[in-house]
Structures are given as structure tokens and as C-alpha cells.
Amino acid sequence: MAGFSFRLSILSEGRYDAQMVTIHDIARETGVSPNTVARILGGRRGRPYNEGKVLKAARRLGYVRNLQASNLRSGRSGLIGLLVPDIRNPQHTEFFQLLQDAANPMGFQILLFSSGGRMRQELHALQRMEQSRVDGLILNASEGETDEGCDEILQRFLTRKTPVVLAGRPERTIRADEIVIDNHAGMRNMVRYLAKTGRTKIAFVCGDRQSLATRERHEACLATVKKLKLEARTEWSQFGEYTPESGAQQTARLLQMNPRPDAIVAGNDLLAAGALRVLLDAGVMVPDDVAVTGFDDIPLASLVSPRLTTLRQPREKIAREVMELLQERITTRSVDAPKKLHYEPELVVRQSA
Amino acid sequence: MAGFSFRLSILSEGRYDAQMVTIHDIARETGVSPNTVARILGGRRGRPYNEGKVLKAARRLGYVRNLQASNLRSGRSGLIGLLVPDIRNPQHTEFFQLLQDAANPMGFQILLFSSGGRMRQELHALQRMEQSRVDGLILNASEGETDEGCDEILQRFLTRKTPVVLAGRPERTIRADEIVIDNHAGMRNMVRYLAKTGRTKIAFVCGDRQSLATRERHEACLATVKKLKLEARTEWSQFGEYTPESGAQQTARLLQMNPRPDAIVAGNDLLAAGALRVLLDAGVMVPDDVAVTGFDDIPLASLVSPRLTTLRQPREKIAREVMELLQERITTRSVDAPKKLHYEPELVVRQSA
DNA sequence: GTGAAAGCGCTAACAC
DNA sequence: GTGTTAGCGCTTTCAC
């Protein structure tokens, strides 16, 4: 007992305030050294004789390892930061769940930040990740311009050999791993499919103008329209943000036009759902009068009526491969030779087109 | 310089491996003590003379505070644990976002765990929260039975005066704060509304039998049906889980029955969306032939066709008040006199009923 | 307001 | 395999 303070301190009210049990308490209790306790509780072996004693004492005293101390000393954190523009977009929610399921067995926890597309929030999130010493991080596209301060922080991560994975962000100064969705191939297939099924006047309901996904998807559509020599009008390209409300607004504008488009290609499923909403409310038949297509294939796509024809992102594969890459980089402490993980969206034909 | 190791260590490849800058580096650089550096960087004041020097040096050297060390010493973590059964349910996603928006300004971060309703995952999540020394935690209903180990951990949290908020969990041995949704009042209003609009044969599409929400909502429906002397049949009560797929399955079973119900009260919006799906596919008119209602009022409720009549949970209010309660408890270190936060769902009439 | 010293709880490094 | 020692980076305590 000598040299150790009491683990129970008496408060003024006369109640007891239970402190956390430490490896020293268990060491004292069992007569072995703190080191041995730590080793056994850390899963490495000791003398069976000691193992029994230690495990039993730990259980009896209600020992709970202090990750803060553990991580401080070992220089890890067991945390993977995930920054998304809006977790309320099911696409991101699904990705979080898949990432968590892949990360947990590897001993990692996901620290999620939903920035709401706000620049300041995004910067705060990165600062917090840095202060938390995340072992790796995944950055989803901000749905707008990106702050300069962000790049500075990202660069520091890489200098410290903390792996960074960028998704849907324009290539910039920093050389990090990237998730690359082949928006061009996806949209080309989509527009071709629409043309093949007789659509000639294709309109585009897009997310925010600044985002890379928006630009790539929109440009691919225009290029394909041009290549197929379909009708093209600048006012058939509408922009907003990746929400059902925006999709509804944009579609309402399209409905005013003359000639009216016979197909609406939306930048993602949320936009498409909003478009569907407005069309049905206006008595426009989908897909008879107007075809509607989405992007992502979130669960919602199968719940709206008619079911959405869309482009499926291989989320499971992405989540798995990203975590594998991160683990690899974290264990080898190498962030050199940035990798690009390529994925092609798959056309899923349902009812809306 | 004496007594301090170099912050740059040369690797075998001849490159530099930048270590993190510490308050000692800044202290050395500016000639003040580490204590003064910490105080100034911690936001408390110092001599303007020193403040300038320290802040500038910190910026120049790229200092990033180490939260692990800070938290280890101060006994806080700045983390609020949030455990939900399934983050893919938009109800939980929305709640996370609102909670994050309320927590961040208070200096807290949300550590999210999505258990998938699996008992083992839930236990793991609680263990991890305990090891991470979260300052408080919010437990959403597991959608099934709860493990004994969980209660043991929760009890330890409370003993240590770490506040715990339970939501939608049956009251048990532990005395923690609770979020109480008045399922009874909500469902009573819903059934009355259906009766008033001429429905007489009301069926119930529910989540899993074990969950408190399911039991309360179902019982409230049955009680109201009985009170209003409406037709009642045991086979009109179906159970499953809180997913669209389950809602679809349960509804398919109801469609086989004779007599067929003229209203379907679903346990949440996801179930209702699945029900809608099956009804429309079967050519049943909603709400003309069969009325459908949901619970939660997630964004999806306004996107399906017809729009869902549902019961809205005051999520914003709940998130705000829960964080206020947590902050209060964390600062006063008092978990005595558990509070019950009561909320009543609001009937939102749209098109489906 | 500032500096010196101690220590949060753990793991790493090294003898044995 | 085990014990000893040191120290991760910070905050706390206490003189001054």
C-alpha cells in the first residue's frame, strides 16, 4: 500500500467518488509489476500462473484500460477521421456504416464529422482531427470551394506520414491517395441508355457548380449528348445543391420551359427524388412523359415511385479497399507513391427511365 | 537547447521525419516556461508581450495541441458517445447531425457507434466508450434484448459520475436520465384520426417484438382500437424489424388476409415506406383503398408517393435539451436525481392517410 | 502572471 | 517472462 494513494477519496458530502482502477492497482493487488500487468492485459502472454491472477484481479476490480494514456505513450490513436459534407445524405451514411464495419475488426474507430458543406466547419473538423492525432483520414468532397487552411493541415498530415484519402476532390497541391469514381463512364452509359430508349431532349439537374462531382457528371452528359447529336440547350442544365428540395426547385424551372425536356438526369438520387416529387405533383407521368435518373443507388432509390433508374456506386468495395489501404499505410508508415482507387458506377435500370 | 532532443530525426533514407511540435519547443524558442506557453495557447491571458511571442512561434512552428496528453492530465476527453442501433435509419442520422451541431459549440465531439442491433457490437461499443473515457453518453434503444454486460458497464459510468442518457430503453436497474417519447399519446391520436376519417379495420406493421418502442406503440394502438370499438384481429398485428424490407414483407402478408385491413399503422417511416411500396406494386390505392401511416417524420416521408402521414418527433428540441442536460451534469459532476425528458409526437397529416 | 516540479496511466527500452 | 526506469505532452499545484 505504501507509495500509493487511496483509490477512494472522500467527498465533503461523505460519499465516495470511485476513481478508475489502474495497472498499478492490479500490480499491487497481485504482487507482480505494472509492466507484467500491462503485458497480460494487452493480450500478450505471461506465465499462466500470473495470467490467472492478473485477469481475475482486473475483472474483480473493474479495470478499464485508459486509451488516452495508452495512445499518448504509443503514438497511435486508433482513430480514423471521416469528413463528409452532409451525413444526412444516405450515400454518406451507408459509407460510414460500411467503413465502421471494416475498421472495427482492425482495431480502429471512426471519428465522424459532418460539415454541412460549411467551410468553417470543415476547417474545424480537420483541426480537431489533427489535435486528436487520428491515424488516418478520409475526406469526402466538400460541396463547394475548399479553404486554403485545409490544404495546409492536410499537408502537415502527410509530412507526418499520416495517410490521407481524398474522395471526389479536385486534385490539388497535396499528393494523397484518392478514390476516383468514373463519373464520365457512368454518365455516358446513362445518356446512351436514355437515347437508346428514345429520349432526345435530356435535361440536367445538378448539385452545386463548384463540386468536382457536379462538373464531371455534367460535362460527361453534355459530351455524350453532343456525340449522339441530341438536342442541347443551355437552360436544360440547372444547378443547386445535392438535396431533394433543390432537385424539386430545379425541376419546377424545367417544367416551365418550351420545349420541355423528355428526360431528367439528376446528379444524385436525392435530386432525382425531388424531381420525381415535382413531376408527379404536376401530373407529369414518369417515365412515360419524362424519364428521371439518379446517381449513387441509395436505399431511397427503391422506395420512391416509380423506382429510380440510377448508377450504383460499389460502396462495399470502396469501404473495404480504403480501409485496407489505410491499414497498410499506417503499419508501414509510408505515404509515398499515392494510389488512385478507381471505381466504375454500374447502371441499374428500374422504372423511372 | 540543452536538455531537449532535436525535433527532426534523420531517417535511413536521408529524409526528415517531422515530429510534432510541443509546448517545450515553443518555450525554448521564446524563452518562457512551458507553463506560460500552455496557458497562453489555452486561451487564458498572459503578458501581452509574451502572448505575441508565443502565438507567433506556435504558428510558425506549426504547433498542434495534443488532446490525448491534455485529456489524460485533465481527466476529460471532450467526447460524447452516441450509440444507435442503425445509423442508416434517417431518424438516427438526423439526430446525430443535430447533436453534433449542439455539441461542437460546447467543445464536445460526438463519437458515433452504429451497432446494427447486434448485441456483441453494442457491448463492444460501450467498452470502447469506457476505454475512451467519454464525458457522457447517449444510448438509443437497442432493437432487441439487451445484454447483461451492458448494464454492468453503464452502472460503472454512473458510479464514476459520467452522465448516461437512455432513449427508448425499458427502465431497468440503472438510474440514468431518460428521453421519453410519449408513444401512447402519439399512437392514440393517430388511431383516432384514422377512425375519424372512416377507417374501421386497422392493421399494425411493427418493428421487432422486443423493443420498447414497438411494444408501447403497438399496445397504444390496440388500446385505442378497443376503446373506439373498432374491429380487431390478432393477425392484423405483424412484427419484424425497423426496415423498409420488413415493412414490405409484413404488408404482403396483410394483403393475403380476408377481410383485408383498410389502414396500416406502421411502427416507423421506414416500415411505412416499405408498406407503400408493396401496396402500390399490388395495385392497391393509397389512401383510397388502404391508408398508411408512419412514425418519426424523416425526410423520406415527404419523398414517397403519396406523402406519408406520420408522427413527428421534435428532434431539434430533443438534441438541444439532451446536450444541455449533459453539459450541466458534466460540469457539476452530478448524476443524481435522474431526469426524464418528455416529448410528445405531433400528428402530421399528409396524403397517405 | 510566471516558473519549477510533479504526475495523469500507460508503453518502450533495457537489464536480468 | 519479468521488473525497473524513463518518458509520451500536457495540466496541476504551489511558490514567488
Mean pLDDT, to the nearest integer, of B84-99? 97
Q: Is A160–B18 a contact, with Cβ atoms under 8 angstroms apart?
A: yes
User: A38 vs A31, B159, B209, B281, CA distance in Å?
Assistant: 13, 24, 43, 60
Q: Show which positions of strand C are touched by protein (CB under 7 A).
A: 1-5, 7-13
Q: What residue has its CA nearest to the C1' of C7?
A: B73
* Predicted pLDDT at B144: 59
Q: How many CB atoms lie within 10 A of CB A317?
A: 12
Beta carbons within 8 Å of B228's beta carbon, 6+ residues apart:
B191, B192, B195
Over residues A295-309, the pLDDT tens digits come to 999 999 999 999 999
Question: Out of 3.40.50.2300, 3.40.630.30, 2.60.120.10, 3.40.50.620, which CATH number does the structure's domain A183-312 have?
Answer: 3.40.50.2300
Residue of B nearest to A127 (CA): B64
**What is the four-CA torsion angle of B212, B213, B217, B222, rounded to 10 degrees?**
-30
Q: How far apart are CA B9 and CA A73, in angstroms?
A: 18
Q: In chain B, which segments carry CATH 3.40.50.2300?
A: 76-182+315-344, 183-312
Residue B12, φ and ψ in degrees, nearest 5: -60, -35
| Whole-number percent of chain A with pLDDT over 90 | 85
User: How many Å lie between the alpha carbon of A162 and the closest alpha carbon of chain B?
Assistant: 11
Chain B residues whose CB is inside 8 A of the A68 CB are 68, 71-72, 77, 132-133
What is the residue type of B334? S
* Predicted pLDDT at A145: 63
**Which of A67, A88, A96 lies closest to B97 in CB terms?**
A88
Q: Does the pTM of the predicted model rise above 0.85?
A: yes
Chain A residues whose CB is inside 8 A of the B127 CB are 64
List strand C contacts in A 49-78 (CB < 7 A). Answer: 63, 65-66, 69-70, 72-74
Any idea what DSSP says for residue B75? T
Mean pLDDT, to the nearest integer, of A221-250? 97
Q: Is B88–A77 a contact, with Cβ atoms under 8 angstroms apart?
A: no
Over residues B198-253, the pLDDT tens digits come to 999 999 999 999 899 999 999 999 999 999 999 999 999 999 999 999 999 999 99
Q: Show which positions of strand D are touched by protein (CB under 7 A).
A: 1-5, 7-13
Q: How far apart are CA A202 and CA B80, in angstroms?
A: 48
* Contact between A283 and A306 (Cβ < 8 Å): no
Q: Hey, what CATH topology would domain B76-182+315-344 get?
A: Rossmann fold (3.40.50)
Residue to mutate among A68, A268, A281, with most B CBs inside 10 A, is A68
Per the prediction, chain B carries an average pLDDT of 92
Check pLDDT > 90 for residue B4: no
Chain A residues whose CB is inside 8 A of the B109 CB are 111, 128, 132
Q: In chain A, which segments carry CATH 1.10.260.40?
A: 2-65
Residue to mutate among A7, A303, A316, A333, with most B CBs inside 10 A, is A303
Judge if the beta carbon of B42 is closer than 7 A to nucleic acid strand D: yes
Over residues A199-220, the pLDDT tens digits come to 999 999 999 998 999 999 999 9
Q: How far apart are CA A298 and CA A312, in angstroms?
A: 8
Comparing CA positions, the residue from A9, A77, A178, A135 lying closest to residue B160 is A9
Question: Nearest nt to B63, CA vs C1'?
Answer: D9
Helix (H) or strand (E) holding B109: strand B109-114
- In Å, what is the separation between the CA of A36 and the C1' of C13? 15
* Predicted pLDDT at A173: 76
Sheet of strand B202-205, all strands in order from the earlier edge strand to the far edge: B237-238, B202-205, B263-266, B291-293
* Predicted pLDDT at B103: 98
Mean pLDDT, to the nearest integer, of B93-114? 97
Chain A residues whose CB is inside 8 A of the B133 CB are 66-68
Q: How many CB atoms lie within 10 A of CB B47?
A: 12
CATH number of B2-65: 1.10.260.40
| Cα radius of gyration rounded to whole Å, chain B | 27
* Predicted pLDDT at A146: 67
- In Å, what is the separation between the CA of B84 and the C1' of C11? 33
Chain B residues whose CB is inside 8 A of the A129 CB are none
Over residues A312-340, the pLDDT tens digits come to 999 999 999 999 999 999 999 999 899 99
